[in-house]
Homo-oligomer: A and B are copies of this chain.
């Protein structure tokens, strides 16, 4: 019989761990003195503890280990747990590899360009959204801006956020195929009149698994610079564009001509730099 200190020294674990496992019922000492509360462990408990430690190193939770250790478990249950764990580890590896690439990318940038910072591209997934909008083919960005102004002044919707969706099948600078309107959560009218020629009608923006987003803060005329940053980031990180661009207008041009627009691009893994 070993007292807790000796047993913990042999097993190279803390006394606190042994007390904790006692409390959980995971490894009860062979004997506990009812007077003093002293715990006494037998030599045979060392392999029991080792089994727990091994399962823990595999990354199983103490709750899972308790199931495996207390009642003797079927091979099936053990296989199930290990298969689950395998999938979790593989996921963790993939995530950490992606993380490592991003950290290294930022480090390289500090080395080569100094303080210039990478754009803060955030990946999101979004559900399908109600979109009360009108589609049109417009001559240039100025026309888009005019249309937005028209909508917010003549058909205001305080709960909606102005969005511009660009259908850029083929990029034709003189013919922007866009939809402009409000993204809405909750109940939405079927139509909303802007002028005699223009009526917003309710449609759906499809759900997107992976949306790469970058926020533009500055002049509306400079939004293409942010697009360029986002595009470069995507290329560098092995993503390819996989759908229509969306622009969420969070702040319309103010007195200082400053806008805040979140650019959203649906993306998928490109072929050249597969990461998983």
Residues of A within 8 A of B (CB): 2, 6, 9-10, 12, 42-44, 46-47, 50-51, 53-54, 57-59, 75, 78-79, 82-83, 85-86, 89-90, 92-93, 96-97, 99-100, 102-104, 106-107, 110-111, 114-115, 120-122, 124-126, 161, 185, 213-215, 217, 248, 250-251, 260, 262
A103 touches B120 (CB 8 A): no
B100 touches A82 (CB 8 A): no
A-B contact pairs, 29 of them (CB 8 A): A6-B161, A10-B161, A10-B248, A10-B250, A10-B262, A43-B251, A44-B251, A46-B215, A46-B250, A46-B260, A47-B120, A50-B213, A50-B214, A50-B215, A58-B99, A58-B103, A58-B106, A75-B110, A75-B114, A75-B115, A78-B110, A79-B107, A82-B103, A86-B107, A89-B100, A89-B103, A92-B92, A93-B100, A96-B96
Given contacts A10-B248, A75-B110, A260-B46, contact A100 B120 (CB under 8 A): no
Residue from the list B46, B90, B121, B217 in contact with A54, Cβ < 8 A: B121
Q: Which residues of B contact A124 (CB under 8 A)?
A: 12
A108 to B: closest C-beta gap in Å:
10
A260 touches B43 (CB 8 A): yes
**Complex: how many Å from CA A44 to CA B259?**
9
7 closest Cβ pairs, A-B complex:
A43-B260, A43-B251, A43-B250, A47-B215, A50-B120, A54-B120, A12-B124
- Which of A46, A93, A97 has the most CB atoms of chain B within a 10 A radius of its CB? A46
B89 touches A99 (CB 8 A): yes
A9 touches B185 (CB 8 A): yes
Main secondary structure of the interface of A (DSSP, over half): helix
B54 touches A122 (CB 8 A): yes
Q: Which residues of B contact A102 (CB under 8 A)?
A: 57-58
Q: Which residues of B contact A115 (CB under 8 A)?
A: 75
A122 touches B250 (CB 8 A): no
B90 touches A93 (CB 8 A): no
